[in-house]
Amino acid sequence: LGSNGAGKSTLISCLTGITPVTHGDALIYGNSIRNSKGMSTIRRLARFDSLWNALSTKEHLHLFANIKGLPMATRKSEVKRLLADVDIDKIANVRAGSYSGGTRR
């Protein structure tokens, strides 16, 4: 995709809204990355995970939603929606310590 310094990480940071776009634009499924709808269609995975082996999938989502500041009423429905959207509701109560490497990501 490119050598060191070619801008791969910067591009992904711009596409995900981490780094502000100062010139130009990009479309994701027809949506500009300059608005929240465009940025909401793409995610970035870190090279490391931030999961605790003792917590389940659902517990992790509740934890991160709490850190984000979502109220409990919103948090419950959002966790349920996320589990279904990424088709991981079947492992909602599985502890992260038993995940495969691919599942962890």
Task: Evaluate if residue 62 carries a pLDDT over 80.
Answer: yes
Task: Work out the widest C-alpha separation in the chain, in whole angstroms.
Answer: 46
Asked if residue 20 lies in contact with residue 68, where contact means CB atoms within 8 angstroms, the answer is no
45: in domain: no
Give the structural domain span for 32: 8-39
62: in domain: yes
Instruction: For 31, list phi and psi in degrees, rounded to 5.
Output: -105, 130
Provide the token pair at 26.
């990009």
SS3 at position 28: strand
The string of pLDDT tens digits covering residues 15-48 is 887 888 899 988 888 888 887 766 666 766 666 6
Structural domains counted in the chain: 2
* 28 shares its domain with 66: no
Q: Is the pTM of this model over 0.75?
A: no
* 61 shares its domain with 30: no
Q: Residue 57 and residue 54: Cα distance in Å, rounded?
A: 10
Which residues share a beta bridge with 27? Answer: 32
